[in-house]
């Protein structure tokens, strides 16, 4: 069930992503994807593998579902969030966008937990999820601002 659902979401999201007009340059997308994996890898490495706060399923189909979430769904979703932020002018609108994105990302995690793709330990609280996703999105926003500056020197953004 989990593998079918998350692979379907991944493919639909990827189709939507690559067939609609993008506000972000391909290079921004590639760099953001790689940096997100970097952040996530370290997060799962320390919080999950070392401190057992998050446990990813060891059943192969569920593990593949998690790989789809981590490699496709989360990064594409974050890139779409950054696109939305770029198109917004007012600070409050950007902040509202951040709040919505944090909740949607937490919703994906919650769905994954319900389908036994991952499990949080009893020590984990919702506050940590808010904190970690907010921090991740702000970090990605910062990286995006930096990439945009470098990109703008040579390429039309």
Binding site for other proteins (CB under 8 A): 25-27, 30-31, 33-35, 37-38, 41-42, 44-46, 48-51, 56, 58-60, 63, 67, 70-71, 147, 150-151, 153-156
Nearest CB to other proteins, comparing residues 16 and 46: 46
Give me the DSSP letters along 133-153: HHHHHHHHHHHHHHHHHHHHH
Nearest CB to other proteins, comparing residues 63 and 130: 63
Q: Least distance to other proteins from the beta carbon of 61, Å?
A: 10
Nearest CB to other proteins, comparing residues 70 and 120: 70
Encode burial over 73-111: b for 16+ CB neighbours within 10 A, e otherwise. Answer: bbbbbbbbbbbbbbeeeeeeeeeebbeebbeebeeebee
Cα–Cα distance for residue pair 66/74, rounded to 1 Å: 10
Q: Least distance to other proteins from the beta carbon of 41, Å?
A: 5
């Amino acid at each position: 069930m989990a593998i079918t659902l998350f692979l379907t979401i991944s493919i639909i999201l990827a189709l939507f992503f690559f067939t609609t007009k993008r506000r972000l340059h391909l290079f921004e997308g590639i760099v953001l994807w790689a940096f997100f994996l970097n952040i996530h890898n370290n997060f799962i490495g320390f919080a999950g593998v070392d401190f057992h706060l998050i446990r990813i399923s060891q059943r192969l189909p569920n593990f593949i579902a998690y790989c789809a979430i981590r490699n496709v769904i989360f990064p594409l979703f974050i890139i779409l969030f950054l696109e939305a932020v770029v198109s917004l002018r007012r600070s409050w609108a950007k902040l509202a966008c951040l709040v919505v994105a944090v909740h949607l990302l937490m919703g994906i995690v919650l769905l994954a937990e319900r389908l036994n793709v991952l499990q949080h330990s009893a020590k984990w609280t919702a506050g940590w999820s808010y904190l970690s996703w907010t921090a991740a999105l702000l970090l990605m926003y910062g990286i995006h601002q930096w990439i945009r500056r470098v990109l703008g020197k040579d390429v039309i953004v």
